[in-house]
Amino acid sequence: MHGLSDYEKQIAGLLDYPRYISGDAEAKKAIFSEILRFTNEYFGMSTELFFTMPEGFEAAHGLTDPDTGNIRVNEALLNDETQFLPLFIFLHELRHAIQQARTELFSKEIAVNCSHMIQFDGTGYFVDGDTVIAVKLGGEQAFYTELYLGSPAEMDANKFAYDMLCPVCADEALTEHYRIWTPSYKIIPKERMLEEFLKAAERIDRLAEETANNA
């Protein structure tokens, strides 16, 4: 198995952006599938790609299933007038799939994040193989929104998608999209972000253990 930097160079070579933006929804799906097929072969993964969203997530742009590692891109995005958006979402979710399948290639903080996920609303997920335990952390949504955006795995996935698209997409909206999904650090200072994330991960551990013991 090769490393991340070599993979990123090869993915950059696969991004035929002119073909992507000129294609219809089915052509975009085919390009996503080509990139996923290469990624699965490169890392020895078996990730699958779907364009339907599960119940409760119908409005989400995309997601990575924490128990299977499969990725989903909302089919409605494929006809979005913002051409780069479906590809950005796909690359973002693809990075999450790699994080989950090959945690040893990433920082220890990202590895922790792969088993301790935090959502905007303060829902935390403890993930251990096929076991996923949801817990409520409690607190203000604004705090958890910033903590979610600043969590190690999210920061890495957003940067990966942005870095892959920047050389081929001159749309200023790409930079604005990246800025929107980067924490403002107004609620949690940048120097405290990792500390707050690790504290939340410890709380997810405690609450997940309590939930499992009471089941």
Cβ(156)–Cβ(150) below 8 Å: no
For the chain, the maximum distance between any two Cα atoms, rounded to a whole number of angstroms, is 55
Sequence ranges of the domains in the chain: 4-214
Check residue 2 and give its pLDDT. 67
- Looking at residue 177, the DSSP 8-state letter turns out to be H
The angle that helices 172-180 and 152-165 make with each other, rounded to 10 degrees, is: 180
d(CA 142, CA 160): 25
Neighbours of 115 (CB within 10 A): 19
For 6: left if phi > 0, alpha if psi spans -120 to 50, otherwise beta; the answer is alpha
pLDDT by residue for the chain (215 residues), tens digit each? 568 999 999 998 888 899 999 999 999 999 999 999 999 999 999 999 999 999 888 989 999 998 889 999 999 999 877 789 999 999 999 999 999 999 999 999 999 999 999 999 999 999 998 899 999 998 999 999 999 999 999 999 999 999 999 999 989 999 999 999 999 999 999 999 999 999 999 999 999 999 999 87
CA dihedral 75, 165, 155, 40 (to 10 degrees): 70
* Strand-pair partners of 127: 132
Q: Is 138 helix (H, G, I), strand (E, B) or coil?
A: coil
Q: How far is the first Cα of the chain from the last one, in angstroms, to the nearest whole number?
A: 40
User: What are the Cα distances from residue 141, in Å, to 104, 121, 136, 184, 202?
Assistant: 31, 5, 12, 15, 19
Neighbours of 165 (CB within 10 A): 21
Sheet of strand 49-50, all strands in order from the earlier edge strand to the far edge: 49-50, 71-73, 62-64
